[in-house]
Amino acid sequence: MKRRAIYPGSFDPITNGHIDIIRRSLKVFDEVVVVVAMNLRKSSQKSGWFSPEERIELVRKVFRGEKRVRVDLCEGLIMDYARSHKVDAVLRGLRAASDFESEFMMAAINRELNEKVETVFMMTGKNLFFVSSTVLKEVAAFGGSIQAYVPRPVWLAVKKKLQLGELR
Amino acid sequence: MKRRAIYPGSFDPITNGHIDIIRRSLKVFDEVVVVVAMNLRKSSQKSGWFSPEERIELVRKVFRGEKRVRVDLCEGLIMDYARSHKVDAVLRGLRAASDFESEFMMAAINRELNEKVETVFMMTGKNLFFVSSTVLKEVAAFGGSIQAYVPRPVWLAVKKKLQLGELR
Amino acid sequence: MKRRAIYPGSFDPITNGHIDIIRRSLKVFDEVVVVVAMNLRKSSQKSGWFSPEERIELVRKVFRGEKRVRVDLCEGLIMDYARSHKVDAVLRGLRAASDFESEFMMAAINRELNEKVETVFMMTGKNLFFVSSTVLKEVAAFGGSIQAYVPRPVWLAVKKKLQLGELR
Amino acid sequence: MKRRAIYPGSFDPITNGHIDIIRRSLKVFDEVVVVVAMNLRKSSQKSGWFSPEERIELVRKVFRGEKRVRVDLCEGLIMDYARSHKVDAVLRGLRAASDFESEFMMAAINRELNEKVETVFMMTGKNLFFVSSTVLKEVAAFGGSIQAYVPRPVWLAVKKKLQLGELR
Amino acid sequence: MKRRAIYPGSFDPITNGHIDIIRRSLKVFDEVVVVVAMNLRKSSQKSGWFSPEERIELVRKVFRGEKRVRVDLCEGLIMDYARSHKVDAVLRGLRAASDFESEFMMAAINRELNEKVETVFMMTGKNLFFVSSTVLKEVAAFGGSIQAYVPRPVWLAVKKKLQLGELR
Amino acid sequence: MKRRAIYPGSFDPITNGHIDIIRRSLKVFDEVVVVVAMNLRKSSQKSGWFSPEERIELVRKVFRGEKRVRVDLCEGLIMDYARSHKVDAVLRGLRAASDFESEFMMAAINRELNEKVETVFMMTGKNLFFVSSTVLKEVAAFGGSIQAYVPRPVWLAVKKKLQLGELR
C-alpha cells in the first residue's frame, strides 16, 4: 500500500530544518507533499518575504529530481485538502516543547474535522532545532548571513531580494 | 513498500491509551510490533505488576485476529532490536508536554545509535491523555475501578491479581 | 456566606469550553459574573469578530434563566472592577501548560494590585481543551464547521456574519 | 450554602507554602480540611520524616483556634473520601509549570472517579514558590536552617528529630 | 582579566526586574553594558512607549554614579556589536520556563554567528519574576499604578507621558 | 578582580556535555572548581557507577595541565562550601526546559541561604543537549557504545568496569 503524507507550513522560505524533516520522512512515507498553506494558525501575523508562488518555486528547485516529493498550494482548511487528495497522514516537525501544545491542540481539532487522517510528528535534527524561518529572517534583515541554514536556491533568492531592498 | 514500526514500552499492563495509538498507527504503517522492553529509561524505577511474559500474553489477547499487530520482547537496546528486525520506524505516543523533552532526548540518542530508523510520534486520543499505566495502578491499588481504561483481558487479569492479593 | 466570582475574558465569542468552566464553577461559587474585559493582556492583538455588546448579548442568551450567572463589561483594570463589585475570587480556566506561566504572572500582579481577591483556576474539560476562540475563528474563516464547539446562539450569529461576509 | 474543600497532600511536614494556600483559600471556602493522604502519586517514593500521626498533630498545632481549618487522614482514594465527607472541591496549590501536567492528569482522572467534586487550583505566594517539603528536607539534612520556611511547631519538631539523629 | 558583559533588550522602559539582574551581574562581571537593541526577536511586535533615545536616557539616570554600568544603542545584530566591542558574554534574565526555549534557540544561533561570546543567564529575583515591561504597560494604560515596579525616573517619565495622553 | 565559579554536580561520570560547559565557562571565569557534590537534590536516587573518589580522579585526568580548572568534594550544603571557599558564582548547565524549574527553585533557595553568591546558567552545546550521565549509563548497561559522548579516561574506566561486571 502506498502511503502519502502532506507536510503543511508557510515555508517562507523553506529551510534546512524543513528539508531534514522531509528527507527523513521518506523512510516512512512513499510520497510527501509539501503544502504551502495560507491558513496555518498565526501565519497571518508573520510578515511575508516570498509570495506563495515564489515559495512553491523554491521548494520545487530544492527537490528537483526527487519524484517522491511534490509541492502544492492550499488556500482552505488543511483537512479539506487531505480529504480530497487521498492523504494518509499530516506530517509536522517538532522543534521544542513550546511547539508541543499548539501542535497538540491543532492535531486534536484536525482529527475532529477529519478522523481518517492522522498527524504524525518528527523531531528536528539536533543541529537544526534552532533554525526557524522567523529567526532566519531577522538575522538576514540585520545583515547576518543565513547561508548555512537554507538550501542554495533560497540563499540566492534571499541575496537578490536583499540587494533590491525588498526585504525588511 | 511494506513499512514496519515498533512500538516499545513497558506495557505493564497495556491500556486503552496504548491501543488507541496502535490502531491509529495502522493507517500509516503496514505492521506494528508492540515491543515489551526491559530497558526503557526509568523503567527500572517502576514497580512491576505483570511479568514480561504476562504482559506479552495480554497484548496478544487484545490483538488476537489482527494480523498486522504483533508482540515481541526486547532485552537489549531498542535500536539493536530495530537493526536486526528490519524496522522502519520507532513509534511513540505523546501524552503531554512533559513527555516531550525526555522523548526528544531519547529520539536524538537513538538516532545516533542507528540513523536508519526514524522515531515518529502520535498524540494520544483526547479522551485518554490522562491514562497511564502508573496512574491506573495507583487507582486500582486503592480500590478504584479501572475497568473503563483497560481492555477486557487486562481488567480480568487485574481483578484476579487483586483478589489473590498479588498487587500492592 | 455568599461567594461571588468573576470570570474575565474576551469571549469573542463564548465557546463550549467557557460554558463548561462556568457550569462547573457553580459547584464552588454562589454567583459567577462573566466579565467581558477590554484589557486582558494580548487581547489587543486578537482580531475581533463580535463587538463587546454582541459578546455580552450572546452570553446572556446562553445563560438565560440561570440566575446565578450574570454578565458585565469591564473597561478598566479587572482588579478595580473586583474591588468595586464585592468579588471574592477571579476564576480562570487552564487549558494547557503554556497557559500556566502567563496566568501565574497575571495572578501575581493582580494580587499585588488587590490582595483581597484570590485567583482560582479550573482545568478545562477533557473534551474541550483544544477549543479556543482563536482556533475556532480560524476554522470558521476557512470554511470549517464549528457548530460542535459553540452554543447554538453563537453558531447562529457566526453563520449570519459569515453569510454577510463580515468575518475574515 | 456552606462550601467545604479538602486540601490533600503528604504534609511531611506542613510548610509556610501550604499555610499560605490554606489561609488564602478561606476567602473562597467556608471550611478547609487538610487531608494527610497516603495515596498521592509518587508519595511512596518520598522518604518520610514524620509519621502520619505526627503530621496531623503538627497541622493541628498550627491551626489551633482556627475553627474553619480541620485536619484528617485518608488511607484510600481521595475521591472516595470526598464522596463520604460532603466535599465540594479539592484544593491544590500550583508552584510551577512542571506541576501543571501531573495535576491536570490527576484532576481529569479524579473527575472520572467522582464528577460531583471539582478540583480548584491556587498559585503559591510569590515568596514561597520554591518552598517544598522535599527541598526543605534536603537543606535540613545537610545542616541548613529551614526556620524561615516552616511554622514554629514544625521547626521545633525538626530540631528535636535532628538532635536525636532520626532524620537522614 | 577584566570581563565585560552586554545585557541586550528593548528596555521600554527599564524595570526593577532589569535593575535586579544588572546589580547581581556585577558580582560576576567587571562591566555591564545595557544595550538598547532594535533587533531582538519579536521586539518589533511590541508597541513602543519610549523612543530609543528616551530609553537610554532613563537607564543613564538610574545608574548615574555607577561607573561599571554603561548604556549603548545597537541597530544591527547583537553578535556584531559584541565582536566590535570586546565583549566576553551576553547576559540574559530568565523569568519563566516559557522564556527558556526562545532564549535557548537565540543563544544557539548567536553562538553560530560568533562563537567567541558566551550567553549566560541569571534568574530574576523572586519578588520580580512577574514584572515585565509588557505587563507594566498594560497595567499603566488602564489606570493602575506601576510605581512599585520601576525606578523613580521611569515612574516620573511615565506619569508625564500619561498626563500628556501620549501612552496608549 | 579574579572570579571563581563552582560547578557542582554528581559527575558520575563526567561527560562531554559537562566538559563543553566547563571550557566555555572559562571565557567568563578565571577559575572553575568542579565540585563533586553529595547533596544535590535527587542525587540519592541515582544508582552510582563510580565512587566520589573515582569521579574526582576522572575529572582530574580530563583537565590535567589546565590550571584554571580544579576539582573538589563537597559533603555538605553547596552554599556553605561557597561561603568558605571565596566563590563568586555557582555555574549550572541547562539542557532543556524541564531542567529549568527545578534549577530555578534551587537557585532561589540557594540565594536565600547565601545571597553573596549568584547562580549563572549556560546552555549546553547543540550537539550535546541529549547527553546526560543517566542516559549514557543506560545505553552502556545494555551494550551500546558511549565512546562518542565521554572523554577518553572515562571511556577506559567504563570499559574496565563493564568487563569486571561491576556496572549494572
pLDDT, one tens digit per residue, over C61-73 is 999 999 999 999 9
| Strand duo E118-123 + E31-37: pairing | unpaired
Summarize pLDDT for A12-29 with one digit per residue, the tens.
999 999 999 999 999 999
- How far apart CA B30 and CA B69 sit, in angstroms, is 9
DSSP for A51-105, please give it: -HHHHHHHHHHHTTT-TTEEEEEE-S-HHHHHHHTT--EEEEEE-SHHHHHHHHH
Contacts of E141 in chain C (CB under 8 A): 39
D24 closest CB neighbour out of C97, C108, C118: C118
Partners for E (CB, 8 Å, 3+ pairs)?
A, C, D, F
- How far apart CA A136 and CA D106 sit, in angstroms, is 41
Name the residue in chain B with its Cα closest to that of A123.
Answer: B104
Peptide bond connecting F13 to the previous residue in cis, omega within 30 degrees of 0: yes
Measure the CA dihedral D136/D139/D142/D147, to 10°.
Answer: -80
Measure the CA dihedral B44/B48/B51/B54, to 10°.
Answer: -130
Summarize pLDDT for A105-139 with one digit per residue, the tens.
888 889 888 989 999 999 887 778 778 888 888 88
- The CATH class, in words, for B4-129 is alpha beta
Say which of F41, F46, F85, F116 is annotated catalytic: F46
Going across the sheet that includes D4-9, the strands are C69-74, C31-37, C4-9, C89-94, C118-123, D118-123, D89-94, D4-9, D31-37, D69-74
Q: C148 touching B, CB under 8 A?
A: no
Q: Taking 60 as the threshold, does the pLDDT of residue E15 lie above it?
A: yes
- How far apart CA F26 and CA F7 sit, in angstroms, is 12
Find, among F27, F4, F24, the residue nearest to E86 by Cα.
F27
CB pair distance less than 8 Å for E109 and A135: yes
Average pLDDT over residues F86-94: 94
CB B58 within 8 A of CB B161: no
B97 closest CB neighbour out of C97, C126, C130: C97
Average pLDDT over residues A82-97: 91
CB pair distance less than 8 Å for A96 and F97: yes
Model pTM score: 0.89
| Alpha carbon separation from E125 to E18, E96, E129 (Å, rounded) | 10, 11, 6
Question: How close, in Å, is residue A127 to chain F by CA atoms?
Answer: 6
In this structure, how many other beta carbons lie within 10 angstroms of the beta carbon of residue F84?
Answer: 8
CB pair distance less than 8 Å for A127 and F129: no
Question: How close, in Å, is residue A104 to chain E by CA atoms?
Answer: 17
Question: How close, in Å, is residue B30 to chain F by CA atoms?
Answer: 29
Summarize pLDDT for A134-163 with one digit per residue, the tens.
888 888 888 889 999 999 999 999 999 888
Q: D127 touching E, CB under 8 A?
A: yes
- How far apart CA B61 and CA C77 sit, in angstroms, is 60
Positions of E annotated as catalytic residues are: 18, 46, 95, 133
Partners for A (CB, 8 Å, 3+ pairs)?
B, C, E, F
HSE-up of A6 (CA within 13 Å, CB side)? 25
Calculate the average pLDDT of chain B: 88
| Strand duo F69-74 + C31-37: pairing | unpaired
Q: Taking 90 as the threshold, does the pLDDT of residue D101 lie above it?
A: no
CB pair distance less than 8 Å for D108 and B129: yes
| Alpha carbon separation from C143 to A10, A153, C128, D75 (Å, rounded) | 19, 35, 21, 53
CB pair distance less than 8 Å for A80 and C143: yes
pLDDT at B98 (0 to 100): 67
Summarize pLDDT for E42-74 with one digit per residue, the tens.
444 455 889 999 999 999 999 999 999 999 999
CB contacts < 8 A (A, B): 72
B119 closest CB neighbour out of A97, A107, A123: A123
- How far apart CA C6 and CA C135 sit, in angstroms, is 24
Question: How close, in Å, is residue F52 to chain B by CA atoms?
Answer: 23
ipTM above 0.95, yes or no: no
Average pLDDT over residues A75-102: 88
Q: C38 touching D, CB under 8 A?
A: no
Summarize pLDDT for F48-80 with one digit per residue, the tens.
889 999 999 999 999 999 999 999 999 889 999
Q: A42 touching F, CB under 8 A?
A: no
CB contacts < 8 A (B, F): 39
F95 is catalytic: yes
Q: Which of C7, C27, C102, C116 to mutate to test the interface with D (most CBs of D within 10 A)?
A: C27
Domain limits of chain E? 4-129
Q: Taking 90 as the threshold, does the pLDDT of residue B6 lie above it?
A: yes
Name the residue in chain B with its Cα closest to that of D37.
Answer: B142
pLDDT at F139 (0 to 100): 86
DSSP for F34-87, please give it: EEEES-STTGGGSPPSS-HHHHHHHHHHHTTT-TTEEEEEE-S-HHHHHHHTT-
Q: B126 touching D, CB under 8 A?
A: no
Positions of A annotated as catalytic residues are: 18, 46, 95, 133
Contacts of B124 in chain C (CB under 8 A): none
